[in-house]
C-alpha cells in the first residue's frame, strides 16, 4: 500500500526548534522524525511514499536528494579510494514522490492534491508525520480490511498531563480527573483509507472535520485501539522525550531492530 505523509504544516507550537526547518524534519538522533516514521512503514513492507509538501518543501527534497546513507549504516572505509563500503543499506528500495500541495493548505486539501498519484490504488495509508508508535501496523491493516469500511484510524490514550472537568451551568465543578483516568482516547494520526475517501472530501475541507462527520453518519469510520507506545512531537517537551528515549536505546518505535 502507498503511504501519504502530510509534510506541510508550520509547526508553530514547536517553533523554538523548528523555526528554520519543518516539524517532520526535526531530528531525533542523526535522522529526522519523518525518516523514523518511513523506516517504520518500510519495516511492514510499505515502501512507496508520497510526501504532501508545503512549508519549506525544499528541505525535504534536498535531504533525500543528498541522502547520506552511511550515517545510519555500518560501513568499511577503503583507505585507497577513501570511499565507504556500506555493510547495510536502508532507503535503497524506497520510492518517494514529492508533491507541492501549497504552503497554506490544510490536511484535507493536501490529501486532495495527491489524489492523482493514488489513481488505481484500492486503498492506501496516511500519516501526519509527527508521531511515532510501536503499533503492529499489520494488525491495523488486517482490522481495516476485515471491517471493510472507507476509513480507519489508530486510537490511543493521550499521555498529556491535563485534567478533564465537568461543571454545572453556574460554574460549579462537578468532577475533575486526570485524562488517563477518564479513559479518553484520541486520534493517533495513523490512517488507512479506501479510494472512496475522496467522495467524502470536498475542496477546502479539513480531513477530520466535515469528511469524517460524513463517514460517521454513513457508518464508514472505524478506530483501531492501540494501548502501546505512542508519542507525538507537538512541543519542545515532546521532542525531548522522544530524543531521550532514542539516546537511551529504548525507542519503542524502532520495530525494525531485533530485540534481545
Kindly report, residue by residue over 21-65, the tens digit of the pLDDT: 888 999 998 899 999 999 999 999 999 999 999 989 999 999 999
Look-up: residue for cell 509538501?
Answer: 53
Q: Which CATH number does the domain housing residue 53 bear?
A: 3.90.550.10
For residue 165, is it within any domain? no
Q: What is the pLDDT of residues 204-244, one digit of tens each?
A: 999 999 999 999 999 999 999 999 999 998 888 888 999 99
pLDDT value at residue 17: 53
Q: State how many domains the chain has.
A: 1
For residue 169, is it within any domain? no
What does pTM read for this prediction?
0.88
pLDDT higher than 60, residue 260: no
Give the separation between CA 195 and CA 188, rounded to whole angstroms: 21
For residue 25, is it within any domain? yes
Higher pLDDT: 109 or 15? It is 109
Q: What is the pLDDT of residues 163-187, one digit of tens each?
A: 778 888 887 787 887 766 666 788 9
For residue 258, is it within any domain? no
For residue 162, is it within any domain? no
For residue 260, is it within any domain? no
20: domain range? 3-155+185-247
Task: Please give the span between the terminal C-alpha atoms of the chain, in angstroms, as a whole number.
Answer: 30
For residue 256, is it within any domain? no
Q: CB under 8 Å to 260, separation ≥6 — which residues?
A: none
DSSP state of 259: P
Give the separation between CA 132 and CA 190, rounded to whole angstroms: 9
pLDDT higher than 60, residue 132: yes
For residue 10, is it within any domain? yes
Amino acid at each position: 500500500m502507498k503511504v501519504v505523509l502530510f509534510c506541510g504544516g508550520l509547526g508553530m507550537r514547536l517553533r523554538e526548534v523548528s523555526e528554520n526547518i519543518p516539524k517532520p524534519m526535526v531530528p531525533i538522533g542523526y535522522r529526522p522524525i519523518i525518516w523514523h516514521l518511513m523506516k517504520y512503514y518500510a519495516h511492514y513492507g510499505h515502501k512507496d511514499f508520497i510526501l504532501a509538501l508545503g512549508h519549506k518543501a525544499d528541505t525535504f527534497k534536498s535531504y533525500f536528494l543528498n541522502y547520506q546513507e552511511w550515517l545510519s549504516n555500518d560501513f568499511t572505509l577503503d583507505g585507497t579510494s577513501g570511499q565507504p563500503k556500506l555493510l547495510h543499506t536502508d532507503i535503497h528500495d524506497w520510492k518517494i514522490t514529492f508533491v507541492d500541495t501549497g504552503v497554506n493548505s490544510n490536511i484535507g486539501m493536501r490529501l486532495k492534491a495527491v489524489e492523482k498519484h493514488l489513481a488505481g490504488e484500492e486503498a492506501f495509508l496516511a500519516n501526519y508525520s509527527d508521531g511515532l508508535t510501536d503499533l503492529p501496523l499489520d494488525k491495523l491493516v488486517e482490522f481495516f480490511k476485515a471491517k471493510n469500511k472507507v476509513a480507519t484510524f489508530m486510537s490511543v490514550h493521550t499521555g498529556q498531563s491535563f485534567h478533564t472537568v465537568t461543571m454545572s451551568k453556574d460554574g460549579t465543578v462537578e468532577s475533575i480527573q486526570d485524562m488517563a483516568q477518564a479513559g479518553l482516547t484520541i486520534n493517533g494520526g495513523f490512517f488507512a483509507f479506501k479510494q472512496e475517501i475522496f467522495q467524502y472530501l470536498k475542496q477546502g475541507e479539513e480531513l477530520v472535520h466535515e469528511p469524517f462527520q460524513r463517514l460517521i453518519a454513513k457508518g464508514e469510520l472505524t478506530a483501531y485501539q492501540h494501548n502501546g507506545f505512542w508519542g507525538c512531537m507537538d512541543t519542545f517537551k515532546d521532542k525531548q522525550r522522544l530524543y531521550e528515549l532514542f539516546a537511551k536505546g529504548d525507542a519503542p518505535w524502532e520495530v525494525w531492530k531485533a530485540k534481545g
